[in-house]
Structure 1
Amino acid sequence: MPVHDVARGARDRARAHAGFTLIELMIAVAIVGVLAAIAYPAYEDSVRKGRRAQAKADLVELAQRAERFYTLNNTYAGFWASVPAGDKRSPRAGQAFYLLERTSGDADANAFSLSATPTGTQTADSGCGTLSINQAGARSISGSMEPARCW
């Protein structure tokens, strides 16, 4: 076997084990950066939608509790005072992203209006804003989106 063939074989094996070049590494970093720039805002939007869904569920549950209160007492007056403080936020445990409140006075005997106001990082969900529901089941929002997209 000639000497130059042995040297060429050693060079080929050295190139095969050389690893990444700087250009290849920069291309990989650029691709990861573009994917992250696209994926992170979509992820944040999905998280905000999940928190909004929890607030909607909590509002509907409170509305049902108000109806049960009305069935037993023939009035909505005093309902909000009977709600434990921990149930006036969403979610009930951990960091609150919505504050739940009765927007009509607690002395109102024939009607109620409940709302979920975003707080903290959830205020970035400005398209929906504050979610509201009343004794008739009418749902509304304070944001610029159409209510059907938020509810």
Structure 2
Amino acid sequence: MFLTNRLSVQQRFQSGFTLIEMMITVAIIGILASVAYPAYTDSIRKGKRAEARAGLMNLLQQQERYLTQMNTYETFAAGAPGALPFKAYSAIDGSQASSSHLLGTRICQPIGGVTPTKRDCIEVFAQPQSGVFSDPEVTSMAIDTQGRRTCTGTNTERCWK
């Protein structure tokens, strides 16, 4: 009988996890998450920037086609609904609601003191869509028909890479 009671006491103490084991496991998971989450968000931002670059190149190509047909470029505000035949958002296979950036066009900045016209040079630009995507490092990017690329934000090296 003494032996039976002793086994049941040992069995009771050996089942399950102790509080210390559980706290160590939670701490390890917390450390892994604190390292992995910033890397994950950085990867998402890189993908969204790549989506914006692809959208800019697509819009620039559409503008060149428009120039050959109408003998002028067309300007419109970022994300303008029904912006003539142009797509004003960056998602390639999605909708404007799922897009990370809104696209627009404007006349180029003055070159050598001469302000170009809409027939000479336009700049296509992408700006993050508010509420859907935030990028603290890159706030907007643009490229004009002369091939000049510009970028605004705190880390402009990341725009075109």
User: By the TM > 0.5 criterion, same fold?
Assistant: yes
Unaligned stretches of 5+ in structure 2?
Answer: 77-82, 109-116
Identity %: 37
Residues 71-120 of structure 1, C-alpha deviations (whole Å, 9 max, x = no match): 233321x4755334xx2122242433211111228x71111101101122
For the Cα contact (< 8 Å) 1:69–1:79, is it kept in 2?
A: no
Structure whose residues are more often helix by fraction:
1
Structure 1 residue 15: Cα displacement: 4.6
Q: In the superposition, relative to structure 1, how do residues 121 and 39 fare at CA in structure 2: closer, same or farther (>3 Å)?
A: farther
Q: Does 1:128 align with 2:130?
A: no
Change (3 A) 1:70 1:79: farther
In the alignment, does 2:95 pair up with 1:95?
A: no
Partner of 1:33: 30
By how many angstroms is 1:64 displaced?
0.9
Instruction: Please give the TM-score of this superposition, normalised by the length of structure 2.
Output: 0.73
Distance 1:11 1:67 in 2: 83
Would the aligned equivalents of 2:106 and 2:123 in 1 still touch at CA under 8 Å?
yes
Alignment: residue pair count: 142
**Which structure 2 residues correspond to residues 36-75 of structure 1 after superposition, within 5 A?**
36-75=33-72
The amino acid across from 1:64 in the alignment is Q
Which region of structure 1 is more displaced relative to structure 2, 107-116 or 58-67?
107-116
Displacement of 1:69 after TM fit? 1.6
The 3-state SS of whatever aligns with 2:136 is: coil
Structure 1, unaligned runs of 5 or more: none
Letter in 2 for 1:127: E
**TM-score with structure 1 setting the length:** 0.77
**Distance across 1 between alignment mates of 2:21 and 2:36:** 23
Larger Rg: 1
Aligned-residue RMSD, C-alpha: 2.5
